[in-house]
Structure 1
Amino acid sequence: MNITREQVDALNAVVTVAITKDDYKQKVDKVLENYRKTASIPGFRKGAVPMSLIHKQYGRAVLLEEVNKILQASLNDYLAKEKLDILGNPLPKITEDFDWDADDYSFEFELGLAPQFSVDLSAKNKIVKYKIVADDAMLDEQIERIQKQYGKLISKEKIEEGDDISGTFTNEEKGIDSTVNFTTAIFKDKKTAKKFIGKKAGDVVTVSTKGLFDDDHKLMDFLKLGHDDVHGLDVEIDFLIDEVNTSEKAELNQELFDKLFGEGVVTSLEQLKEKIKEDAELQFATQSDQKFLNDVTESLIENTKFDLPEAFLTKWLQSAGQAPLSIEEAEAEFKKSENGLRYQLIESKVLVENNLQITFEDLKAYTSEVIRKQMAQFGQMNPTDADVDGIVARVLSNKDEVKRLSEQVMSEKMLNLFKEKVKFKEKEVTYQDFIKEMYGE
């Protein structure tokens, strides 16, 4: 057996695997001999079937199978030995007049090779990293929400200004069916708010989505629609009133502070605001980090230039999925997935060049942190190490969970690397301004 490679260009090569009779004959003969021992053919005793008949009935199928095994094993060994970084899988070149009656065979495979390129994380760019702050308006809103949540709820028959209203927004055409709670203060103009005054449970109020709120993004929350669906949305929606309540707000006293954060942790309104600000900005930091990671990713794809073996990959996509694709469908699929492939190559190079690896201790520590945060959400503020370790062990015994958590750990490592090496400008914004910046508005 002999394997040779012809370099077509920097991104394409053809590997030829030449297999001789000596490579496969012994294996084929052994399989056929086993067939002979077990074959049950009318007119012959078991084990006494003439080998010529076995060859005639099974010879071609066994030959194809054994040659294919040799072919695949030798090709895989060659790619590993030569350390060829290929994209997709080798594609066999079809030979119309291939002669299986010959003793020796030659098979050709097309290869798509990964490009050579460099990644400059420190290059100048226009990336902004946002520091999201909780402003006074947000803090006041949060405090009022807390007071209502821990206050006394009083049922009412008719709506008055400031009452809590529960019900469902619907619009059959747009598929809107969203159950929400709000007060009339959420609406942009007073005419809309007045439509609700005096209404009671069971009544339906119809409003227009156009200009309903001071920010169209609020439609995403109240109507459960996607970002692209709310802009320019101009339809009538019905609101079926389920309940009308008013809240007797809880007093901002030590009893409330202790309920919220534990005994003695917060002792004044100023400390309450500081705590709310701290917790909110911790959550905002996660969103800011995600946008930063996305922006760096887009910048690297845009600014890291290299060619891909497009013709090869398009051809490979035609047969890579469950159903074969036409050349037009494969070309469209390549265009759709091209940026994803480019980033996979960029990310792989960044990982290697910066020696980013995940150890079991990394995974265990990250999982432990996730578990502790989840337990805190359910009021278990100080679980024992033994309890946490037991849960971590159970989680890490699940292969799917290990894969998911490993991806999160690597994403965090990439984020920290980008923070360290990528040049960016920091910009302080409120959460509402961040939402506008994130969607380019």
Structure 2
Amino acid sequence: MNITETSTEGLRREYTVVIPAADLAGRVDAQLKEIGKTVRMPGFRPGKVPMSVLKQRYGQSVMGEVLDKAMSDSAGKVVEQHSLRPALQPKVEIVKFEAEGESDLEFKMIYEVLPEFEPADLSGVAIEKPVVDITDAQVDEAVGRIASGRKTSAPLTEDRPAAKGDIVVIDFDGSVDGEKRPGMKGEGHELELGSGSFIGTFEEQLEGTRAGDHRTVNVTFPEGYHAAELAGKDAVFEVDVKEVKAAVEVTIDDEFAKGLGFDDLAALKTVIRDRLGGDYTVMSRLRAKRALLDQLAELHSFEVPQGMVDIEFDQIWKRLQEELKAGDAGEDAGKDEEELRKEYRDIAIRRVRLGLVLSEIGQKNNITVAREELNQAVLAEVRRYPGQEREVFDFFKNNPQAVESLRAPVFEDKVVDFILGQVKVTEKPVSAEELMQDPDEEEAA
């Protein structure tokens, strides 16, 4: 085997590999002899099948196996001889080969290698970490939202039309462009006017109705509606009001809490405070992580392997297409494809570069992922699917590769936590609304 480096440009390395025909022939003959020891063919005793017959019957498939093995072995030798750190599997291009002849096998192996770089000095990095001090008012507001969702209804005590805050019992049947659509029909549906449960001005148009009234309601589905086929469409609903009721607020007391499975109202508030604290802690860390990654991105500008960028971009683009199809792409829905491709290509480059930075910092500081940490990651995934815990757990149990796919995000989080422990982090008190606001929306405000 002869290996020659033929091109070095940026992170691209190209090698020409030549394997002598005699070497290939020897490997083919050796495999055919092994086959001949056990193969059974009509007219021949076991182990006595002539080589010419074996070549005619199995030669082509054996040659394919020999070529695959030869190129695989060559890839390992190229990496070893030239001390490469491949970013991905190499591309292989056959230059010369005659399956029936006696020519040498010549092929190219094209690698992209990982960049050589030193992580930037992080001693000057300072991060602001937003934190929320949970107040009694926030807890009371959360309790109020729970109570609002458990309102009951009662007959009106006076003869009057439906008003905002009342509950109307309705039958409705909707259409778009004169065509009935799934999910646009219902009977005996209780709707609180002003709750925002239905689209547009649907609820507003039912104010002033009485039991027995019929209304034709005209509304427009939002541009970002989750069902893409309805987004931006005008709809007509024929609505029959069957009954008008008064909404009855729930009294927030110990009995209310007991109805939710708690000993008393204080116990309910304690659990809500803990949950809010957990939610705020998670979001606070995410905001600190984003701020850190933004600074890491500014501190590093090395070239990244385009093959890795292509893979990352393809994943992002596929997800974007699904969001566009579902009508969930937000402001991206109004951009042209060229603009979107450039924007998300830049995002892919940033992600790949940051991934390499975090990987390098992790390796230099001997950060690893223990088996127990992977197990905890699996349990976290299981908890994300209430009611399907057994199915999700069995999926991971029967798919070791799925478990391994969690290693990278766990490693990334460990490296981020390590860096946050090394840089200056200042806590900045903010409101719950500020903490939970999307950073992109915040910048645009």
What is the TM-score when the length of structure 1 is the normalising length?
A: 0.64
Per the alignment, residue 279 of structure 2 pairs with 283
Per the alignment, residue 332 of structure 2 pairs with none
Question: In 1, distance between residues paired with 2:167 and 2:247?
Answer: 7
8 A Cα contact 2:309 2:349, kept in partner: no
Shift of residue 114 of structure 1? 1.0
Instruction: Pick closer, same or farther for the CA change 1:166–1:132 going to 2, 3 Å.
Output: farther
Per the alignment, residue 207 of structure 2 pairs with 197
**1:346 matched to 2:360:** no
**1:419 matched to 2:430:** no
Task: After TM superposition, list the pairs within 5 Å mapping 1:346-425 onto structure 2.
Answer: 346-365=357-376, 397-399=397-399, 402-403=403-404, 406=407, 409-410=410-411, 412-423=413-424
Question: In 2, distance between residues paired with 1:85 and 1:159?
Answer: 72
**1:114 matched to 2:117:** no
Question: In 1, distance between residues paired with 2:289 and 2:191?
Answer: 34
8 A Cα contact 1:184 1:196, kept in partner: no
Per the alignment, residue 302 of structure 2 pairs with 306
Question: In 1, distance between residues paired with 2:227 and 2:125?
Answer: 34
The CA deviation string for residues 246-277 of structure 1, in whole angstroms up to 9 with x for no partner, is 3333323322234446225717xxx94x6544
Question: In 2, distance between residues paired with 1:52 and 1:77?
Answer: 33
Question: In 2, distance between residues paired with 1:356 and 1:256?
Answer: 49
Correspondent of 1:160 among 163, 180, 189: 163
Instruction: Pick closer, same or farther for the CA change 1:403–1:155 going to 2, 3 Å.
Output: farther
Question: In 1, distance between residues paired with 2:285 and 2:236?
Answer: 36
Task: After TM superposition, list the pairs within 5 Å mapping 1:195-234 onto structure 2.
Answer: 195-199=205-209, 203-206=215-218, 224=226
Instruction: Pick closer, same or farther for the CA change 1:153–1:224 going to 2, 3 Å.
Output: farther
Unpaired runs of 5+ in structure 1?
A: 211-218, 319-327, 379-387
The CA deviation string for residues 14-38 of structure 1, in whole angstroms up to 9 with x for no partner, is 2343323563343322334466675
Shift of residue 314 of structure 1? 7.3
Instruction: Pick closer, same or farther for the CA change 1:409–1:158 going to 2, 3 Å.
Output: farther
Shift of residue 55 of structure 1? 4.7
8 A Cα contact 2:173 2:239, kept in partner: yes
Instruction: Pick closer, same or farther for the CA change 1:302–1:73 going to 2, 3 Å.
Output: same
Per the alignment, residue 184 of structure 1 pairs with 194
Count of matched residue positions in the alignment of Structure 1 and Structure 2: 393
Per the alignment, residue 257 of structure 2 pairs with 257
Q: Which amino acid aligns with 2:352?
A: L
Shift of residue 394 of structure 1? 6.1
SS at match of 1:111: strand
Q: Which amino acid aligns with 1:17?
A: V
8 A Cα contact 1:121 1:418, kept in partner: no
8 A Cα contact 1:12 1:111, kept in partner: yes
Shift of residue 428 of structure 1? 0.8
Q: Which amino acid aligns with 1:287?
A: M
What is the TM-score when the length of structure 2 is the normalising length?
A: 0.64
8 A Cα contact 1:170 1:176, kept in partner: no
Question: In 2, distance between residues paired with 1:418 and 1:171?
Answer: 56
Shift of residue 282 of structure 1? 2.4
Question: In 1, distance between residues paired with 2:162 and 2:56?
Answer: 90
What CA RMSD, in Å, does the superposition of the two structures yield over aligned residues?
Answer: 5.4
Task: After TM superposition, list the pairs within 5 Å mapping 1:21-170 onto structure 2.
Answer: 21=21, 23-33=23-33, 38=39, 51-52=51-52, 55=55, 59=59, 62-79=62-79, 83-95=83-95, 101-102=101-102, 104-120=104-120, 122=122, 128-132=128-132, 139=139, 141-150=141-150, 152-154=152-154, 159-164=162-167
Question: In 1, distance between residues paired with 2:152 and 2:307?
Answer: 68
Instruction: Pick closer, same or farther for the CA change 1:209–1:21 going to 2, 3 Å.
Output: closer
The CA deviation string for residues 74-116 of structure 1, in whole angstroms up to 9 with x for no partner, is 4225425765211232222442687973464443312111111
Instruction: Pick closer, same or farther for the CA change 1:141–1:245 going to 2, 3 Å.
Output: farther
Question: In 2, distance between residues paired with 1:119 and 1:176?
Answer: 55
SS at match of 2:164: coil
Instruction: Pick closer, same or farther for the CA change 1:105–1:245 going to 2, 3 Å.
Output: same
Instruction: Pick closer, same or farther for the CA change 1:368–1:335 going to 2, 3 Å.
Output: closer
SS at match of 2:87: strand
Q: Which amino acid aligns with 1:430?
A: A
8 A Cα contact 2:167 2:193, kept in partner: yes
Shift of residue 305 of structure 1? 0.9
Question: In 1, distance between residues paired with 2:434 and 2:90?
Answer: 50
Shift of residue 335 of structure 1? 6.7
The CA deviation string for residues 401-429 of structure 1, in whole angstroms up to 9 with x for no partner, is 63465456445424533532455663513
Percent of aligned pairs sharing the same letter? 18
**1:18 matched to 2:18:** yes
Instruction: Pick closer, same or farther for the CA change 1:7–1:251 going to 2, 3 Å.
Output: same
Q: Which amino acid aligns with 1:70?
A: A
Question: In 2, distance between residues paired with 1:134 and 1:183?
Answer: 32
Question: In 2, distance between residues paired with 1:276 and 1:80?
Answer: 58
The CA deviation string for residues 359-396 of structure 1, in whole angstroms up to 9 with x for no partner, is 1222345556777x789x89xxxxxxxxx9x9998676
8 A Cα contact 2:75 2:109, kept in partner: no
Per the alignment, residue 385 of structure 1 pairs with none
The CA deviation string for residues 323-343 of structure 1, in whole angstroms up to 9 with x for no partner, is xxxxx9xx9897784344334
Question: In 2, distance between residues paired with 1:94 and 1:185?
Answer: 67
8 A Cα contact 2:36 2:48, kept in partner: yes
